[in-house]
Amino acid sequence: MQISGWGQYPIVDATISQAHSKRKVSELLQTWTTDEESNPPQLIARGLGRSYGDSALAPHVLQTHHLNHFVEFNPMTGDITCSAGISFAEILELFVPRGWFLPVTPGTKFVTVGGAIASDVHGKNHHIDGCFSQHVSSLQIALATGEIVSCSPSEKPELFHATCGGMGLTGVIVQASFRLIAIESAFISEQTFKTANLKETLELFEEHEPSTYSVAWIDCLATGDKLGRSLLMLGEHTSSGELQAHKDRKLNVPVNMPSLLLNPYSIQAFNTLYYHKQTQQHSIRDVHYEPFFYPLDGIQNWNRLYGKKGFTQYQFVLPKSAGLEGMTRILQEIAKSKRGSFLAVLKAFGKGNDNLLSFPTEGYTLALDFKIDDKLFSFLDELDRIVLDYGGRLYLTKDVRMSEATFKQSYPNWEQFQAVRHQYGADQHFHSLQSKRLGL
């Protein structure tokens, strides 16, 4: 079957196997990895296919979204155990009405728990609460042999820290335990600041560090003194409003749009309008968690807006010290190239964690969507050089094209990661197109 990541590039032919139970995952792995007649298949687990590039693509894919049972819930503490194919959307649907919310959530709720751990996802509260995996107390993983083992920060910590952020390359995550946070309302008190340029944006992030949630949408085509002008949004859970879960989305992009739809003019127009949609310098309102955390989830298949050639999201982080200078350089390059992005999202990260391939480090991260065309990748190679110059790196979950050298330079723990994979026999069996490209 033909599959691709969220960016619809590349599209590859894969054999897909479904697992509806932990036992089935075990059995499948046992059969594949002990089959001596054929070469061991290159295998990767895949949940809802929301990683943008080629990290959940391989000749053989183990589909896990049917592995979706709740196992345990403690209504006193919010501790939950569930199988890895449960999506964040399902958790919210069930637990928001009971007064619980995810401790960390990425910009879409259509990710599985297993995928969130493998990508070590972060959210708008990274500067305070870290990554999702930092709220995981333990997980179960099916190793290449089919054996299911538990690991946690104290039990087999090396396996835990390789698996969290490990892009599925250590085995198949089948179950996880983590703690939800208590909320009184499904609403978020949102403050929006309109900033004139990048310096002001970064200063506001600093100033509002104690805010639980913060993120900025940045007009990536503005130049000169307006370079980096943004709408910075802060959020806090409120106590007013009901505990109502999100509703099903109504809009859909039924087919791929003509790729001309997104061109320098339409993107510039959108960015300018979006920036000016906010007329006041500062505003406060209560919004439901859905538009606050998941503005794009309201449009089903929005990835089709980029046309059939697909798109990629370029997300990098620069250390805090390099912040203003490095970001300025990159934004200048982008503005000069006229390759605007509809959505350019800027966020201040807090400290990194102990996971070997985790993306966030203290500093600033910027995420930009680019439509794929013949010249895009050479342009991104230029951006890579700037990112590396400033000691930054790219997010594996979004990546589809970085070079092995770039990866190995910017993820210094990769050798340790390989050693853990080797120790658990994962390096022979678990591979994605991405891991092959990055020399893992």
Partner 1 sequence: MKNILVIGATSAIAKQTIRLYAKQGANLHLMARDEEKLQTLAQDASIRGAASVTVQKLEVNDFDEHEKLIDNAFEKLMSVDVVLIAHGSLPDQQACQQHVSTTLREMNTNGLSTISLLTLLANKMENQGKGTIAVITSVAGDRGRQSNYVYGAAKGMLSIFLQGLRNRLFKKGVHVVDIKPGFVDTPMTADFPKGALWAKPETIAASIVKAVEKKTNTLYTPWFWMGIMLIIRNIPEFIFKKMKL
Window 89-118: residues binding partner 1 (CB under 8 A): 94
Q: According to the binding rule CB under 8 A, does residue 1 interact with partner 1?
A: yes
Distance of closest approach, residue 255 Cβ to partner 1, in angstroms: 13
Best CA proximity match to 302, nearest among 294, 176, 431: 294
Which lies closer to partner 1 via its Cβ, residue 98 or residue 226?
A: 98
Q: According to the binding rule CB under 8 A, does residue 70 interact with partner 1?
A: yes
> Candidates 16-24, 119-127, 210-218, 295-303 — which segment interacts with partner 1 by CB under 8 A?
16-24
For 262, the token pair is 């997104």
> Candidates 14-22, 154-162, 257-265, 300-308 — which segment interacts with partner 1 by CB under 8 A?
14-22
Best CA proximity match to 198, nearest among 321, 329, 315: 329
The secondary structure of residue 304, as a DSSP letter, is: G
Collapsing DSSP to helix, strand or coil, 16 comes out as strand
Count interface residues toward partner 1 (CB under 8 A). Answer: 12
**With contact defined as beta carbons under 8 Å apart, do 132 and 121 qualify?**
yes
Among 13, 36, 37, 72, binds partner 1 (CB under 8 A): 72
Distance of closest approach, residue 325 Cβ to partner 1, in angstroms: 50
Which lies closer to partner 1 via its Cβ, residue 70 or residue 270?
A: 70
Q: Determine how β-strand 43-46 pairs with β-strand 60-63.
A: parallel
Helix 323-337 to helix 376-389 angle (10° resolution) is 170
The gap from C-alpha 197 to its chain's centroid, in whole angstroms, comes to 26
Q: Which string of DSSP letters, residue by residue, matches 110-156? A: --BHHHHHHTT---TTHHHH--GGGGEEEEEEE-TTS-EEEE-SSSS
Q: What does the per-residue mask of binding to partner 1 show for 20-59, with x meaning CB under 8 A? A: xx-x------------------------------------
Distance of closest approach, residue 98 Cβ to partner 1, in angstroms: 9
What are 189's strand-pairing partners? 236, 286
> Candidates 66-74, 157-165, 197-205, 334-342 — which segment interacts with partner 1 by CB under 8 A?
66-74
Q: According to the binding rule CB under 8 A, does residue 423 interact with partner 1?
A: no
Q: According to the binding rule CB under 8 A, does residue 179 interact with partner 1?
A: no
Cα three-residue angle 108-70-97, rounded to 5 degrees: 60
- The neighbour count for residue 420, using CB atoms within 10 Å, is 22
Q: According to the binding rule CB under 8 A, does residue 182 interact with partner 1?
A: no
Collapsing DSSP to helix, strand or coil, 181 comes out as strand
Which lies closer to partner 1 via its Cβ, residue 52 or residue 100?
A: 100
Which lies closer to partner 1 via its Cβ, residue 22 or residue 401?
A: 22
Distance of closest approach, residue 295 Cβ to partner 1, in angstroms: 25
Among 11, 15, 18, 375, binds partner 1 (CB under 8 A): 18
**With contact defined as beta carbons under 8 Å apart, do 402 and 56 qualify?**
no
Distance of closest approach, residue 122 Cβ to partner 1, in angstroms: 27
Distance CA 108, CA 397 (A): 13
Binding site for partner 1 (CB under 8 A): 1, 18, 20-21, 23, 66, 69-73, 94
